[in-house]
Amino acid sequence: MKFSLFALEEWFDRYEFKVDYMLGSSSCAGMTVEELFDLTGESVDFHHTMLTAPPVLGDPDLLESISTWYQNTEQDEIHVTCSSTEAIFLLTHSLLKPGDSVVAMFPMYPSLYQAAEDLGAEIRRWYLRHENNFQPDFDELVSLVDDSTRLIILNNPHNPTGQTLDEKELKKVISIASHVGAKVWCDEVFRGIIVNGNSLTPSIRDVDGETIVTGGMSKVFGLSGLRIGWIAAPKDILDSLRHIRYFTTVCAPVIEQKLAAIAHRHRDKVLARNQAIVDHNFPVLEEWIQNQDGVFDWVKPVGGPITFPRFIHEVNTNELCRVLAEEYSVLIPPGKYTFDSEGFIRIGYGLADGFEEGLEIVSSVIQSY
Ligand SMILES: Cc1ncc(COP(=O)(O)O)c(C=O)c1O
């Protein structure tokens, strides 16, 4: 099996630790261990933590606390992984074989379909079109599925557009999938943060217990350094991927799982902290886009800390974003290179530092570009 270039991650790898202004992150603001302890009122007794491997499926405390984020998901329907990236890898390799067809929202976080493509599956793109305000077209979804379709892959809230599917729309996808015997997998790493007072996105697990969800600590929790993710799915699906786990990481690290369990037990506080940062940054972004006067055609996001504005006039986004990173120390992922969507850039508004200053720099570069 070959691994194709994962351009979005490559872009971050190239610039992330060199720039002063991070305007492209899809994560909320990180915190120290001390901040986590202060915010939640709990701590880990590091000195007495036994550094032996925890169970393959996950630390029971963490499984318990994750399961409470869903209405109908039991602890034994959750499998803790080393990041949601590992969760995506495990699901792809356990659910698919070469020749299967997969319908995936497009654009979307690349590994969600690229891992399947690398495996030899046929990817059918379910486009979220800007001219349609990034809204899903269900007639098109019907035309994309057939008897060879094993999976429909969703991301809700959606990276990079920040759009969401509500319960009615999730039900439609589930119904279309069931007609051809396909499973539905929804990546929900952005569930928990909303924009502009919109309502919280439902979990597809709460709509239908046969569906598969991936989640993780990196995005709305702002704890990307923990590298903890999970899969919530029917038990038979978890059983089928377990043997692949023996070849990847076997189990997730012990201290990180304890920290993740604390964050999950106090989800309300952690998410409220990150929502407050988004609530501060989002009006700044709105005003900034308005002030650009005719530069962007913007479909406002609904959930998560990211958005995907489109330039009205033709712009080579790879070149613009390269100049921003290399000459002005601002990281923004270009739509073309990272999401195969020319004319767009992805802006992340979940970080606490330097958002306004970074945007000012982008304005000055855009004007002279
Ligand atoms: C939709 C989506 N899923 C999964 C991931 C991977 O996150 P991690 O591996 O840090 O848990 C990302 C990262 O940007 C993402 O956007």
Each residue of 170-210: pLDDT tens digit?
999 999 999 999 999 999 999 999 998 899 999 999 999 99
Whether residue 23 is found in the same domain as residue 56:
no
Contact 260, 225 (CB under 8 A): no
Helices 317-328 + 355-367 axis angle, to 10: 120
Cα–Cα distance, 105 to 108 (Å, whole number): 6
Residue 37 has pLDDT above 80, yes or no: yes
Whether residue 317 is found in the same domain as residue 174:
no
Contact 227, 82 (CB under 8 A): yes
Whether residue 128 is found in the same domain as residue 235:
yes
Whether residue 210 is found in the same domain as residue 289:
no
Cβ of 84 closer than 6 Å to ligand 1, yes or no, is yes
Q: Domain for residue 332, yes or no?
A: yes
Cβ of 25 closer than 6 Å to ligand 1, yes or no, is no
Angle formed at CA 159 by CA 254 and CA 366, multiple of 5 degrees: 120
Whether residue 223 is found in the same domain as residue 279:
no
Whether residue 262 is found in the same domain as residue 274:
no
Where among 236, 266, 296 does a domain terminate? 266
How many A from CA of 27 to the centre of ligand 1? 9
Q: Domain for residue 167, yes or no?
A: yes
Q: Hey, what long-range contacts does 262-265 have (CB within 8 A, 24 or more apart)?
A: 262/36, 262/37, 262/40, 262/42, 262/43, 262/44, 263/36, 263/40, 263/217, 263/221, 263/223, 264/62, 264/65, 264/66, 264/68, 264/69, 265/40, 265/42, 265/65
How many A from CA of 96 to the centre of ligand 1? 20
pLDDT tens profile 155-179: 999 999 999 999 999 999 999 999 9
Query: Where residue 102 sits, what CATH number does that domain have?
Result: 3.40.640.10
Cβ of 224 closer than 6 Å to ligand 1, yes or no, is yes
The percent of residues above 70 in pLDDT, for the chain, comes to 100
Question: Residue 317: which pLDDT band, with cuts at 50, 70 and 90?
Answer: very high
Q: In sequence order, what are the beta bridge partners of 126?
A: 105
Q: In total, how many domains does the chain have?
A: 2
Other Cβ atoms closer than 10 A to 13: 10
How many A from CA of 218 to the centre of ligand 1? 7
What pLDDT does 368 receive?
78
What pLDDT does 150 receive?
98
Q: In sequence order, what are the beta bridge partners of 331?
A: 22
Secondary structure of 36-79 in HEC code, one letter for each residue: HHHHHCCCCCHHHCCCCCCCCCCCHHHHHHHHCCCCCCCHHHEE
Contact 21, 331 (CB under 8 A): yes
Cβ of 85 closer than 6 Å to ligand 1, yes or no, is yes
Q: Domain for residue 299, yes or no?
A: yes
| Ligand 1 atom 1: residue of nearest CA | 109
310 CA to centre of own chain: 20
| Ligand 1 atom 14: residue of nearest CA | 26
The per-residue DSSP string of 12-26 comes to HHHHTTT-SEE----
**Mutation pick for ligand 1 pocket among 189, 256, 331 (CB with most ligand atoms within 8 Å):** 189
| Of 123, 170, 111, 130, the residue nearest 148 (C-alpha) | 123
Where among 251, 266, 281 does a domain terminate? 266
Residue 367 has pLDDT above 90, yes or no: no
pLDDT tens profile 258-296: 999 999 999 999 999 999 999 999 999 999 999 998 999
| Of 115, 184, 175, the residue nearest 149 (C-alpha) | 184
What pLDDT does 196 receive?
86
Cβ of 359 closer than 6 Å to ligand 1, yes or no, is no
Q: Pairing between strand 306-307 and 347-348?
A: antiparallel
Note down the domain range covering 330. 7-32+269-367
What pLDDT does 369 receive?
73
Cβ of 155 closer than 6 Å to ligand 1, yes or no, is yes
pLDDT tens profile 80-117: 999 999 999 999 999 999 999 999 999 999 999 999 99
Cβ of 292 closer than 6 Å to ligand 1, yes or no, is no
Contact 87, 237 (CB under 8 A): no
| Ligand 1 atom 2: residue of nearest CA | 109
Q: Domain for residue 1, yes or no?
A: no
Whether residue 52 is found in the same domain as residue 200:
yes
Where among 230, 250, 266 does a domain terminate? 266
What pLDDT does 341 receive?
98
How many A from CA of 46 to the centre of ligand 1? 28
pLDDT tens profile 67-76: 999 998 999 9
How many A from CA of 84 to the centre of ligand 1? 6
Atom from ligand 1 closest to the CA of residue 155: 1
What pLDDT does 275 receive?
98
